[in-house]
Structure 1
Amino acid sequence: MIYILEDDASIRKLVVYTLQSQGMEAQGFDRPSQFWEAMEKGSPELVLLDIMLPEEDGLQVLKRLRSMPATKTLPVIMLTAKSTEYDKVLGLDEGADDYVAKPFGMMELMARVRTALRHAGQNQPKEKTYSLGSLFVDPERHIVRDGDRDVTLTLKEFQVLCLLMERAGTVFTRDQLLNTIWGYEFDGASRTVDVHIRTLRQKLGKSGDCIETVRGIGYKISAD
């Protein structure tokens, strides 16, 4: 699946149509809020991302993607009318894999998409798996098991669990979890973290006991 975040309807529909005609699954979004809602349900193989967007610009979207464990290596190609060298460097420095300036030809875009997907497959690092007691987590295959029971998590719950497992023994404050997983902070937002931790513990069953509350600070998973 390829996601296209582009507020120009004519460009978005043409790109989706062209990708689908090449045998690829594609879904388009005109607002970041729609994109993030879809990301909650699952991560695509590639994102085509415009810079000039309503709600939040594409560079901010890219920064959030790169800050989250589950999407930090997700291939992203910027599609934008900004074509100066400075703009290209800025996008690439923020973690974009490629940069296509508008107007662009569909044949060129398809070639860049295929190249990005091929490189992602060739260069994908062997993700470490995590085990703690009966809990098993495979970030690469998006698998969570409690003993022989498969556990279904939302994207945010999965990202929180991966972060805690990856840094076992490290205490994360609620603000740190918000900034890393959600990419924002606002008054009362710590409630969001608490709710996700509670549902995560419930879904993990007995394995959920490994997520410890550090009173007055935040949460951690014991390294033992």
Structure 2
Amino acid sequence: MASNYRILVVDDDPDIVEMLQYNLTREGYQVAEAENGKKAIAAALAFKPDIILLDVMMPVLDGIAACRQLREMSEFRNTHIIFLTARAEEFSEVAAFEAGADDFLTKPIKPRALLSRLGAYARRDALQEEQDQVIEIGGLRIDRTSFAVYKGENKITLPKKEFELLSFLAATPNKVFSREELLNNVWGSDVYVIARTVDVHIRKVREKIGEDNIKTIKGVGYKFNTD
């Protein structure tokens, strides 16, 4: 599976890039690299990565700005983007998720933890590819094979995590899920994200599909509403 998986490493520290490239290549991943956000966008267009490991603080174009630009391109709406962050950086996780981040890795990076994290993403992607399911509910048609959502005749484009969150809720309508349950089932228990991440993604989904389908249960969580 790893041999078919492409990872773009973006960091202005050549030692970090060399370490990541060595460990990822040894594990069987295809690896490309870039030293700043501007070059990352060009490399991503040429390489078509499944995952982008993206440093936050870089010259020319920082990671947040690069992530935002990548998410505006249809080719990268479903690409996993994982930020590499130093502990001392003053940086808002909410701002990163707003830009389209999926996950974070804290420097100094531990190779075993990195490979475990990437393996979890690869396994979930492989499982998703095996699923052949269309959910029709609440005026929506959710095609899990093509990551497409239709409302009537209108196609609604959602980034991957927003799509997975919507399809997970819609698969069990009227069941209330806590933020922790949604984090574990959509992001995975081995991925570090904060509960606020769910709220950010729910808001973005509502902006695109309308306010009626996903209901907030105060103090509990969210459900896909058919009442």
Give the match for residue 62 of structure 1. 119
CA contact (8 A) 2:138 2:226 kept: no
User: Structure 1 10/219 Cα, relative in aligned 2: closer, same or farther at 3 Å?
Assistant: closer
User: Which amino acid in the other structure matches residue 225 of structure 2?
Assistant: S
Q: Distance in 2 between matches of 1:8 and 1:219?
A: 42
Report % sequence identity: 29
- What is the CA RMSD across the aligned residues, in angstroms? 3.9
Q: Please give the secondary structure, in 2, of the residue aligned with 1:136.
A: strand
Post-superposition, which runs of at least 4 consecutive aligned residues in structure 1 deviate over 4 A?
A: 9-12, 14-17, 25-34, 37-40
Q: Which of residues 156, 159, 165 in structure 2 aligns to 1:154?
A: 159
Q: Distance in 2 between matches of 1:156 and 1:168?
A: 19
Q: Which of residues 155, 174, 178 in structure 1 aligns to 2:183?
A: 178
Q: Which of residues 212, 216, 221 in structure 1 aligns to 2:215?
A: 212
Q: When the two structures are superposed, what TM-score results if normalisation uses the length of structure 2?
A: 0.52
Give the match for residue 47 of structure 1. none
Cα displacement string for residues 69-102 of structure 1 (whole angstroms, at most 9, x for unaligned residues): xx2516xxxxxxxxxxxxxxxxxxxxxxxxxxxx
Give the match for residue 8 of structure 1. 22
User: Structure 1 202/165 Cα, relative in aligned 2: closer, same or farther at 3 Å?
Assistant: same
User: Structure 1 166/151 Cα, relative in aligned 2: closer, same or farther at 3 Å?
Assistant: same
Give the match for residue 83 of structure 2. none
Pairs aligned (count): 151
1:3 Cα offset (Å): 3.1
User: What are the within-5 Å matches in structure 2 for residues 119-198 of structure 1?
Assistant: 124-125=130-131, 127-183=132-188, 184-185=191-192, 189-198=194-203
Q: Please give the secondary structure, in 1, of the residue aligned with 2:141.
A: strand
Q: Please give the secondary structure, in 1, of the residue aligned with 2:212.
A: helix
Structure 1 segments unaligned to the other structure (5+ residues)? 18-24, 45-51, 75-119
> Over alpha carbons, which structure has the higher Rg?
1
1:139 Cα offset (Å): 0.5
Q: Please give the secondary structure, in 1, of the residue aligned with 2:158.
A: coil
CA contact (8 A) 1:8 1:30 kept: no
1:131 Cα offset (Å): 1.2
Q: Distance in 2 between matches of 1:219 and 1:167?
A: 12
Cα displacement string for residues 190-218 of structure 1 (whole angstroms, at most 9, x for unaligned residues): 2211111111011003xx41111111110
Q: Please give the secondary structure, in 1, of the residue aligned with 2:219.
A: coil
1:7 Cα offset (Å): 2.0
Structure 2 segments unaligned to the other structure (5+ residues)? 8-19, 33-45, 56-66, 81-108
